[in-house]
Amino acid sequence: MRLEQEFARIISFFLWRHQAVEVREQEPFQLASGLYSPIYINCRSLISYPGPREIVISFAEYLYHEREMNADGIAGGETAGIPFGAWLAQRLDKPFVLRAQETQNLRHQLPSRGFPTGRILLFEDLITDGLSKVGFVDALREADCMVSDCL
């Protein structure tokens, strides 16, 4: 657990350093879930920086192996989950799929051949209430995929 705490500390530092954390006590942010929070974390800011994104992907790879996750492919959620998921898929030598916001029908977004319909690991950059992840998992399951893990 100590290594996980160290990764979390380093990633938190990079989020703060690259101004990905914003605090507004008087005028809270409305999140995609509709809930309000005085803290907003924008993980997309780390996409531009090779060092921090390498640490995020290294940590994700570590968790994948440490927790003995097994996936035939990686799915990336919107917005920052897409590049981070793609980088993790590349690192793990796994196929990658994403769900675009324009369409809810994931089956149309899977390649017609070659994409596994087995176990899919969902990679997301941030989770608040988890409702959007449930929708994504449901769409993957409708496309004959199994989802048991989310990073």
Q: Which tens digits make up the pLDDT trace of 115-129?
A: 566 899 999 888 777
Please give the residue that has the higher pLDDT: either 103 or 9.
9
Instruction: Return mean pLDDT, the chain.
Output: 85
User: Once rounded to an integer, what is the mean pLDDT over residues 29-34?
Assistant: 86
pLDDT in the model for residue 125? 83
Give the pLDDT of residue 112: 45
Per cent of the chain over pLDDT 70 is: 86
Domain boundaries, the chain: 2-150
Specify the CATH number of the domain 2-150: 3.40.50.2020
First to last CA, the chain: 16
| Residues 13-24, mean pLDDT to the nearest whole number | 94
Full-model pTM: 0.83
Q: Is 113 exposed, middle or buried (0-12, 13-18, 19+ CB in 10 A)?
A: exposed
